[in-house]
Amino acid sequence: MEQTTCQACRSAPVETTIEADELQNPFQVCRACAHRLKTLSLRPLEWYNLAIIHSPYQFLLHDDFYDEDGTACQPEEDVADAESFPAPTLEEVANDVERLLDYARTRWFIEGSIVEALGRHSKESVLRSLQMRVTSNPILEVKAFAYEICAQVLGGAAEEWIRAEWESFTPALLFPLAEASAACLPDEEGYNLVVNAIADVPPKELVRVAAALSWFRSESTLDWIERNISDPLVEDWGRLAAVSNLKWERVAKWLASGRPLSLVALDALACWHYNTPILKRFAPKLLEAAPVNEMNAVLNQYLESDPAPRVRKVIASIIGNWEQICKPQPDI
């Protein structure tokens, strides 16, 4: 996307380009901003303007080097006159949908107050802006951003567009497109699109992409795991099970079946500390739990048949933490 004005200061002409993570979308900047970009000494507004176009996840812009307000954390040179070039605040942009979407584009996470601010605008205007952004700059980062806004703000208002986006699907966008599909499409339709998208993934890579099914929080995923479980038997299988409406009946069944599903069951129960973004987002609980003494007995019985150190460690982390693991039973 060629332009004549520096992407950072938006005043001087473009005099050079600097390679970005997406090779087809380099930084286009003047010489002064190029120097500040390379020396990690951008002024807040310059960082903000570049993050709108390239996202704050670019190496030269990311959070090792800048705070979310564009303040340089590790400048290799003094930041010149930073106070005269502040980045906009949410309050300053909230009433303008275009400026608000620009602001959202610069955030590490789109949540809370940003979602609320976008929700005060018409869904039609938000969707129209997202479509225009993707059309004018169809790079992965822009599409991923648009899908996330659809998921968190637009829901069914973006149904037709998200359905159409599957026609140009690329695996690099699986996770954000799955999130949007879970929020915007009918449940079964969105779920089947993701299942079909990962159908031909090699077994050793499957667990990595299967995380996209997490967005649907569907018990069907537990059936899918039973059919598709494969090495490596890493904790990600358990995390996927944990967010998929896991019930004690299924846990007991998997423990009785032995490895590999027994390991998935144990790892799912051990997810109570919520150590990944998706677990923190959904905070899953074990559903329809049995009495604690019964569940402890099943775990201890399994431990007798599989006393491996990994198993012993996981079971020890589960027993004694049932209050965190189980969904509270309703009072009768």
Helix 174-184 × helix 187-197 angle, to 10°: 160
- DSSP symbol at 60: G
Strand ranges (E), 51-134: none
User: Closest Cα partner for 150 from 93, 211, 101?
Assistant: 101
What pLDDT digit, counting tens, does each position of 145-159 carry?
A: 999 999 999 999 999
Q: What is the pLDDT of residue 332?
A: 39
What pLDDT digit, counting tens, does each position of 213-246 carry?
A: 999 999 999 999 999 999 888 999 999 999 999 9
Average pLDDT over residues 64-71: 96
Q: How far apart are the C-alpha atoms of 251 and 241, rounded to whole Å?
A: 10
What pLDDT digit, counting tens, does each position of 109-153 carry?
A: 898 999 999 999 999 999 999 999 999 989 899 999 999 999 999
Confidence of residue 2 (pLDDT cuts 50, 70, 90): low
The C-alpha angle 220, 224, 230, rounded to 5 degrees, equals 155
Q: What percent of the chain has pLDDT over 70?
A: 98
Average pLDDT over residues 91-100: 98
Residue 21 confidence (pLDDT) above 60: yes
The C-alpha angle 273, 243, 325, rounded to 5 degrees, equals 40
Residue found under tokens 């431990």: 303
Q: Which tokens belong to 166?
A: 């599957």
Q: Exposure pattern of 1-27 as b/e (b: 16+ CB <10 Å)?
A: eeeeebbbbeeeebeeeeebbeeebbb
| Radius of gyration over every alpha carbon of the chain, rounded to an integer in angstroms | 24
Residue type, 77: E
Q: What is the pLDDT of residue 24?
A: 85
What pLDDT digit, counting tens, does each position of 162-220 carry?
A: 999 999 999 999 999 999 999 999 999 999 999 999 999 999 999 999 999 999 999 99
Helix (H, G, I), strand (E, B) or coil at 297: helix
Average pLDDT over residues 91-111: 96
Q: How far apart are the C-alpha atoms of 200 and 206, rounded to whole Å?
A: 9
Helix 44-54 × helix 97-105 angle, to 10°: 90
User: What is the C-alpha end-to-end distance of the chain, expressed in Å?
Assistant: 63
Q: What is the pLDDT of residue 328?
A: 86
Quick one: 123 exposed, middle or buried, by C-beta within 10 A (0-12, 13-18, 19+)? middle
